[in-house]
Amino acid sequence: MSVTNLLDNWAAVRHFHPIDDKPHDPYKWAMAIDLDACIGCNACAVACYAENNLPVVGREKFKHGQVMHWMRIERYWEEDGRDFPDQGFQFLPMMCQQCEAAPCETVCPVGATNHTQDGLNSQIYNRCIGSRYCSANCPFKVRYFNWYDYPTTENVWPAEMNYQLNPDVTVRGKGVMEKCTFCVQRLRAAEVTAKGEGRIVREGEVQTACQQSCPTGAISFGNLVDPESRVHKQWQAQQVDLDKDAQEKNQKEGGTDLRGYRILEELRSYPSVMYLERVRESAV
Amino acid sequence: MHRYLCFPAILAGFLMAVGCYAATDQQPTLTTEDDLGPQVQQPIEFPHYRHAGNRNTVDLTNSDPTKGGMEINCQYCHTYARRSLTAGIPPLQKCVGCHQNIPSVRDKPRIVELFKYWDAKKAIPWKKVHDLPDFVRFNHERHIKRFIEQQGRPVQEVCGYCHGQVKEMTTARRQKPITMGWCVSCHMKEHVVVVANKDGIPEGGTPLGKQAYWYTFQKPAETKNAAGELTAKGPNDCWLCHK
């Protein structure tokens, strides 16, 4: 990319999605997670390990914070004076929020993480040099760094176990950053099939691994642009808009029907994942 | 000049020179030049020219193996190309399926070798010629759909964009660079786009219909070239090939 091109097309190079002149069309992948339905079973995290070739690092490395779970279940305890078994807490499945104005993208020195046209925050392993700047700038702390060469030296996939690796996903080597991709390998396969048939991807045609494995159906995933998709309907019903940092919700005095929110919305990273507040008193 | 100022002055000059060079740098042009890869030794010296090469128009019986080919469609053997990421190497059954009915060449050394593998019930250990790095996922299906099915271009021409003149080779040899810059040089080009007709059927081209965007995952900017034809660039999304 030449300097001329960079200066002439700055708006295109750093294009903020979505903006009025260039809305998402025909795809914007988004998610909605119902925390009331989440039972914290970790099936989503396990499915993610299986789908995305994540190394199981073991107890020691977990203690050092070198765990590689792209999808993690966070626990929030209620500070109400009660002790452990009775103390209420809630689960929060946390993964890359695929921000529209992602803080990680602006700081990458080599452009290894950037925005795709269907609204994903891409991470290109072969371009990554491992500066870890993106992880430092991520408000959700959902980026994971390969401190070890897991495929070979650390032996996380001993002989024959390597046959269970997903061939559609790169097995990352030492020194690159990685994160949730919204199962981009499935999205691309569905998009390419749809493209060949001259249509867009239909609702329900593509699922992420976490969504597929969720026993309570807490996770819904789909095309936010498609008015028929469940995600679109949920976002609409909860009055959550992608491009607003403070949602103009039609809230009633003394209680509300609306449960939808996005995490750290005020930071204006415009995440693509909407959470639905818990209604039950305690998760368990 | 003071010796402490000398180095910064040289550095500034160097940076300016680089800047000027970069500022005048133009968009990449379409790279079509050949870049011959290494000759890969295959277990059987498979004659592509005999199978896929053009027919000998003078000798209608096509008996001389050095002069004419059979014009077999590339996709007859590399059958996965139109429906998957990889083009695929034909299984031994496919070779034998034809060759057990061609007694005239049965005693040729390559065919004898072929039937040795068949009798031993072993697959031929073909070696990869167009070997992309593991982090690159080129999609054959997309390109076949775009060029052959939508635009109706001849198969050998389309395959030749990346694979060169395989129909004139024995065992295949890489002819094009197959580097990312080379791929992108085509994707950065403004290609002419043909709009679908009223019924939504592509008129030998690429439809820019309401729902089907053949180029990118976002509706392409509809630009027009000097001749007034609608053009669009190929996808430039990193996650298409690297994921």
Half-sphere exposure of B225 (CA within 13 A, CB side): 12
- Answer whether A124 sits within 8 Å of B211, measured CB to CB: no
Task: Encode A250-274: b = buried (16+ Cβ within 10 Å), e = exposed.
Answer: eeeeeeeebbbbbeebeeebbbbbb
> Do B231 and B156 share a domain, yes or no?
no
How confident is the model at residue B136, as a pLDDT? 92
How confident is the model at residue B214, as a pLDDT? 42
| Residue A275, beta-bridge partner list | A33, A261
How many angstroms separate the CA atoms of B105 and B109, rounded?
A: 9
Interface size, chain A vs chain B, as Cβ–Cβ contacts under 8 Å: 88
| Mean local confidence (pLDDT), B94-106 | 92
- Answer whether B217 sits within 8 Å of A185, measured CB to CB: no
Query: Which position has the higher pLDDT, A256 or A235?
Result: A235
User: Which of A8, A53, A116 to probe the B interface (max B CBs under 10 A)?
Assistant: A116
Shortest distance between the Cα of A195 and any Cα of chain B, in A, equals: 6
The SS3 of residue B126 is: coil
Residue B149 in any domain: the answer is yes
Shortest distance between the Cα of A186 and any Cα of chain B, in A, equals: 11
Q: What is the pLDDT of residues B25-78, one digit of tens each?
A: 444 455 555 678 888 899 999 999 989 988 877 776 666 666 678 889 999 999
Shortest distance between the Cα of A238 and any Cα of chain B, in A, equals: 26
Q: In what helix (H) or strand (E) does residue A237 lie, and over which residues does it extend?
A: helix A230-237
How confident is the model at residue B207, as a pLDDT? 42
How confident is the model at residue A19, as a pLDDT? 61
How confident is the model at residue B210, as a pLDDT? 34
- Answer whether B217 sits within 8 Å of A168, measured CB to CB: no
> Do B206 and B139 share a domain, yes or no?
no
Q: How far is CA A100 from the centre of its chain?
A: 12
How confident is the model at residue A170, as a pLDDT? 92
How confident is the model at residue B145, as a pLDDT? 83
For residue A1, pLDDT beyond 60: no
Shortest distance between the Cα of B30 and any Cα of chain A, in A, equals: 15
* Lateral strand order in the sheet of B191-192: B191-192, B230-232, B223-224
Burial class for A55, CB neighbours closer than 10 Å (0-12, 13-18, 19+) = buried
Q: Which two tokens stand for residue B22?
A: 């970069």
- Answer whether A122 sits within 8 Å of B145, measured CB to CB: no
> Do B54 and B166 share a domain, yes or no?
yes
Instruction: Please list every residue in chain B whose beta carbon sits closer than 8 Å to the beta carbon of residue A114.
Output: 238
Q: Which amino acid is at B208?
A: L
- Answer whether A170 sits within 8 Å of B243, measured CB to CB: yes
> Do B243 and B149 share a domain, yes or no?
no
Candidate from A187-196, A271-280, B122-131 with smallest mean pLDDT = A187-196
> Do B155 and B78 share a domain, yes or no?
yes
> Do B228 and B216 share a domain, yes or no?
yes
Q: How many residues does chain B have?
A: 243
Residue B209 in any domain: the answer is yes
Residue B31 in any domain: the answer is yes
How confident is the model at residue A14, as a pLDDT? 56
Q: What is the pLDDT of residues A176-208, one digit of tens each?
A: 999 999 999 999 999 888 877 777 889 999 999
How confident is the model at residue A197, as a pLDDT? 77
Instruction: Please list every residue in chain B whose beta carbon sits closer than 8 Å to the beta carbon of residue A170.
Output: 134-135, 242-243
Residue B13 in any domain: the answer is no
Shortest distance between the Cα of A250 and any Cα of chain B, in A, equals: 32
How confident is the model at residue B27, as a pLDDT? 44
> Do B156 and B241 share a domain, yes or no?
no
A27 in B contact zone (CB under 8 Å): yes
**CATH code given to domain A21-276:** 3.30.70.20
Please say which residue of B160, B188, B216 terminates a domain: B188
Burial class for A112, CB neighbours closer than 10 Å (0-12, 13-18, 19+) = buried
Tally of structural domains, chain B = 2
Q: What are phi and psi of A233, to 5 degrees?
A: -65, -40
Q: What is the pLDDT of residues A13-72, one digit of tens each?
A: 555 556 666 677 788 999 999 999 999 999 999 999 999 999 999 899 999 999 999 999
> Do B33 and B138 share a domain, yes or no?
yes
CB atoms within 10 A of CB A201: 24
How confident is the model at residue A281, as a pLDDT? 73
DSSP A89-127: EEEEEE-----TT-HHHHH-TT--EEE-TTS-EEE-TTT
User: Which of B145, B149, B185, B238 to probe the A interface (max A CBs under 10 A)?
Assistant: B238
In whole numbers, what is the pLDDT of chain A averaged over residues? 87
Q: Which amino acid is at A280?
A: R
Which structural domain, as residue segments, surrounds residue B237? Answer: 190-243
Candidate from A79-83, A156-160, B173-177 with smallest mean pLDDT = A79-83
> Do B79 and B196 share a domain, yes or no?
no
Q: Parallel, antiparallel, or unpaired: how do β-strands B191-192 and B230-232 relate?
A: antiparallel
For residue A270, pLDDT beyond 50: yes
How many angstroms separate the CA atoms of A262 and A33, rounded?
A: 10
Q: Which of A244, A268, A223, A274 is nearest to A102 (CA)?
A: A268
Q: How many residues does chain A have?
A: 284
- Answer whether A195 sits within 8 Å of B213, measured CB to CB: yes
| Mean local confidence (pLDDT), A241-262 | 76
Q: In what helix (H) or strand (E) does residue A44 lie, and over which residues does it extend?
A: helix A43-51
How confident is the model at residue B100, as a pLDDT? 93
Residue B9 in any domain: the answer is no
Shortest distance between the Cα of B21 and any Cα of chain A, in A, equals: 9
Q: Kindly indicate the confidence band of residue A10, based on its pLDDT and cuts at 50, 70 and 90.
A: low
Half-sphere exposure of B149 (CA within 13 A, CB side): 18
How confident is the model at residue A157, as a pLDDT? 86
Residue in the block written with tokens 């097995």 = A171
How many angstroms separate the CA atoms of B174 and B164, rounded?
A: 7
How confident is the model at residue B217, as a pLDDT? 47
Closest residue of chain A to B26, computed from CA coordinates: A2
- Answer whether A126 sits within 8 Å of B133, measured CB to CB: yes
Residue B63 in any domain: the answer is yes
How many angstroms separate the CA atoms of A246 and A230, rounded?
A: 23
> Do B163 and B143 share a domain, yes or no?
yes
Shortest distance between the Cα of B15 and any Cα of chain A, in A, equals: 13
Could you say which of A3, A118, A198 has the minimum Cβ distance to residue B218?
A: A118
Residue B81 in any domain: the answer is yes
A185 in B contact zone (CB under 8 Å): yes
Q: Kindly indicate the confidence band of residue A248, based on its pLDDT and cuts at 50, 70 and 90.
A: confident
How confident is the model at residue A24, as a pLDDT? 79
Q: Parallel, antiparallel, or unpaired: how do β-strands A29-34 and A273-276 relate?
A: parallel
Ramachandran quadrant class, A243 (left: phi over 0; alpha: psi -120 to 50; beta: rest): alpha
> Do B160 and B222 share a domain, yes or no?
no
How confident is the model at residue A252, as a pLDDT? 58
CB atoms within 10 A of CB A88: 16
Residue B140 in contact with residue B149, Cβ under 8 Å? no
Q: What is the pLDDT of residues B156-191, one digit of tens each?
A: 999 999 999 898 888 888 888 888 888 888 887 777
How confident is the model at residue A271, as a pLDDT? 93
Q: Kindly indicate the confidence band of residue A254, based on its pLDDT and cuts at 50, 70 and 90.
A: low
Q: Kindly indicate the confidence band of residue B202, based on its pLDDT and cuts at 50, 70 and 90.
A: very low
Rounded to the nearest 10°, the torsion over CA B80, B85, B91, B96 is: 40
How confident is the model at residue A251, as a pLDDT? 61
The answer to whether the bond into B177 is cis (omega within 30° of 0) is no
Which of A81-95, B10-24, B91-105, B212-226 has the largest mean confidence? Answer: B91-105
How confident is the model at residue A118, as a pLDDT? 84
Could you say which of A2, A122, A188 has the minimum Cβ distance to residue B25?
A: A2
> Do B144 and B226 share a domain, yes or no?
no
Residue B116 in any domain: the answer is no
How confident is the model at residue B212, as a pLDDT? 37
- Answer whether B218 sits within 8 Å of A117, measured CB to CB: yes
